[in-house]
Structure 1
Amino acid sequence: MIYNDTCPICAREVAQYKRLTARHDLDIAYEGLSEGDLERYGLSERDAARRLHVMKDGQRLDGVDAFAAIWERMPGFRWLARVVRLPLIAPLARLLYDHVAAPALFALHRRRERLGKLTRRG
């Protein structure tokens, strides 16, 4: 999973996934955008900050598809993966994530970046 580890909301959610991964000995690796070489995934730092990404079987999944790929492996979340893949739910979930949740979180990320630059200068 490639996620925005500088986002407090994203980091909190992924921390829950990491606990489940450890508790159930799941083979899932996590890489925050500030931690690794994103180019090997075909991502810039900006792309990685815009949405969640998962590498599965050599293919990069983004957004809702990435969440579903993670949820299907985690006890307690498998039902959610099935729900967001339902024919009527999938387009709505993608619409909400792509046009509401992801842009809002990215806007907060950009704001934190700007404030951080101002603080370092001041």
Structure 2
Amino acid sequence: MTDETRVLYNADCPVCSFEIDHYAKYSDETGLPIAFEDLNTEDTTAWGMTPDEAARRLYVRKGGQTYSGIPAFIVLWRDMPRYRWLAWLVSLPGAHWAATKLYDHMAAPLIYRWHLRRQARATSPAPSRE
């Protein structure tokens, strides 16, 4: 078992890719053992989920355990020295509760709906011009 942190995210999502690309750049520049995997190009069955399930939230795997949502962010932030303060802050009981409610009930569902709309537009036929 490796101690490497693996992050599964949706690189086609502008919000997700903006944030995770920032973390990936920081991780690469500092040599952190964090792997960033795009659910659109990776085999999500290795994570035990379908691409649709994976698109619903952020997932992080570390030490053989998979985390999702705010706990996933906390694991990721703890592995990055620049963001450990944020992991500590969001781990505090009141902050953790509020962040989880915000992510689970507002941010993640909204971002997922945007994902579904992008997919629908990409697969719908172009309107005919007769």
The TM-score with structure 1 as length reference comes to 0.95
Counterpart selection for 2:81 from 66, 72, 75: 75
Residue 78 of structure 1: how far off its partner (Å)? 0.8
Give the 3-state SS of the residue equivalent to 1:31 in structure 2. Answer: strand
Residue 75 of structure 1: how far off its partner (Å)? 2.6
Q: Equivalent pairs: percent with the same residue?
A: 39
Aligned AA (1:36)? E
Measured in 1, the distance between the counterparts of 2:25 and 2:55 equals 22
Structure 1 unmatched runs, 5+: none
Structure 2 unmatched runs, 5+: 1-6
Alignment of 1:59-70 (within 5 A): 59-70=65-76
Measured in 2, the distance between the counterparts of 1:11 and 1:61 equals 19
Select the structure that is richer in strand: 2
Aligned counterpart, 2:26 = 20
Q: How many equivalent residue pairs?
A: 120
Residue 23 of structure 1: how far off its partner (Å)? 1.0
Aligned counterpart, 1:108 = 114
Q: Determine which structure has more spread, i.e. the larger CA radius of gyration.
A: 2
Aligned counterpart, 2:3 = none
Residue 32 of structure 1: how far off its partner (Å)? 0.6
Measured in 1, the distance between the counterparts of 2:63 and 2:79 equals 14
Give the 3-state SS of the residue equivalent to 1:30 in structure 2. Answer: strand
